[in-house]
């Protein structure tokens, strides 16, 4: 998997913003809350939020670890972008987007829903 394909997946979701943080991380957000972070340096590494019940299994899989600094919020870091095919990437990115969106304040959600 390459960064452009993952960027397209993130960008296809409604009301997503994209920016660079910490100098070399491409961050995708909904309502100013991040749901996916990709390294701009090689090798491509990607972090995203997962369901509580998936966290242990995924973070113990080959090529995936608990995400530094945010593992307590059930984020994983995929150190090998080839561990998932495109449909799995689409699933996990969309799921992360939805998990983060669900936690947004009602006022922010209302604004997002007015201007998708």
pTM: 0.93
When pLDDT is cut at 50, 70 and 90, the band that residue 75 belongs to is very high
Strand order in the sheet with 46-49: 16-21, 25-30, 33-39, 46-49, 75-78, 64-66
Share of the chain above pLDDT 90, in %: 90
- pLDDT given at position 114: 76
Provide the number of structural domains found in the chain. Answer: 1
Judged against a pLDDT cut of 90, whether residue 49 lies above it is answered with: yes
CATH number for the domain spanning 91: value is 3.90.1150.30
Give the structural domain span for 53: 3-114
């Amino acid at each position: 998997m390459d960064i452009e394909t993952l960027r397209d997946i993130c960008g296809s979701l409604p009301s997503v913003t994209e920016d660079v943080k910490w100098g070399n991380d491409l961050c995708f957000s909904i309502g100013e809350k991040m749901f996916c972070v990709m390294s701009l340096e090689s090798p491509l590494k990607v972090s995203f939020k997962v369901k509580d019940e998936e966290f242990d299994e995924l973070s113990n899989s080959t090529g995936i670890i608990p995400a530094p600094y945010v593992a307590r919020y059930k984020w994983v870091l995929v150190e090998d972008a080839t561990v998932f095919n495109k449909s799995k990437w689409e699933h996990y990115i969309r799921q992360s987007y939805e998990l983060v969106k669900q936690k947004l304040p009602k006022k922010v959600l209302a604004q997002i829903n007015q201007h998708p």
